[in-house]
Amino acid sequence: MSELEWIAVDWGTSRMRLWALDSRGSVIDSQSSDTGMAKLARDEFEPTLIDLIEPWVSDATHPVPVIACGMVGARQGWQEMPYEAVPCRPSIKFSRVETQSRKIDVRICWGLKQLDPADVMRGEETQIAGLLGSYADYAGVVCLPGTHCKWARLDQGAVTEFQSYMTGEIFYLLSNNSVLRFSIDQHDWSDDQFDAAVHEALNTPEKITGRLFGLRAQSLVNDSPVGGNGARLSGYLIGLELASTRSYWESNEVSIIGASALAGHYHRALSLVGKTAQLLDTQQMTLAGLTAAYNAYKDQNNV
Q: How far is the CB of 94 from its own copies (least distance, A)?
A: 19
- 39: burial class by Cβ within 10 Å (0-12, 13-18, 19+)? middle
Do residues 124 and 150 lie in contact, with contact meaning Cβ atoms separated by under 8 Å?
A: yes
| Closest to its own copies by CB, 61 or 177 | 177
CB of 247 to its own copies, least distance (A): 11
Site residues for its own copies, window 236-295 (CB under 8 A)? 237, 240-241, 243-244
List 27, 38, 139, 217, residue binding its own copies (CB under 8 A):
217
Contact range with its own copies by CB under 8 A, out of 58-66, 86-94, 212-220, 291-299:
212-220
We find the least distance from the C-beta atom of residue 194 to its own copies, in angstroms, to be: 18
Does residue number 222 form part of the binding site for its own copies (CB under 8 A)?
Answer: yes
Report the site for its own copies in 127-186 (rule: CB under 8 A). 148, 163-167, 169-170, 173-174, 177-179
Say whether residue 88 binds its own copies (CB under 8 A).
no
What's the min distance (Å) between Cβ of 184 and its own copies?
13
* 52 vs 226 by CB, closer to its own copies: 226
Question: How near is the Cβ of 201 to its own copies at its closest, in Å?
Answer: 9
HEC assignment per residue over the chain: CCCCCEEEEEECCCCEEEEEECCCCCEEEEEEECCCHHHCCHHHHHHHHHHHHHHHHCCCCCCEEEEEECHHHCCCCCCCCCEEECCECCCCCEEEECCCCCCEEEEEECEEEECCCCEEECCHHHHHHHHHHHCCCCCEEEEECCCCEEEEEEECCEEEEEEEECHHHHHHHHHHHCHHHHCCCCCCCCHHHHHHHHHHHHHCHHHHHHHHHHHHHHHHHCCCCCCCHHHHHHHHHHHHHHHHCHHHHCCCCEEEECCCHHHHHHHHHHHHCCCCCEEECHHHHHHHHHHHHHHHHHHHHCC
Exactly one of 58, 61, 100, 209 binds its own copies (CB under 8 A); which one?
209
> Is residue 78 a contact point for its own copies (CB under 8 A)?
no
The count of chain residues that interact with its own copies, using the rule CB under 8 A, is: 42
Instruction: Report the residue from 59, 98, 137, 206 that binds its own copies according to the rule CB under 8 A.
Output: 206
Per CB under 8 A, the list member of 21, 212, 254, 257 interacting with its own copies is 212
Rule CB under 8 A: which residues touch its own copies?
A: 83, 113-115, 117-120, 148, 163-167, 169-170, 173-174, 177-179, 204-210, 212-214, 216-218, 220-222, 237, 240-241, 243-244
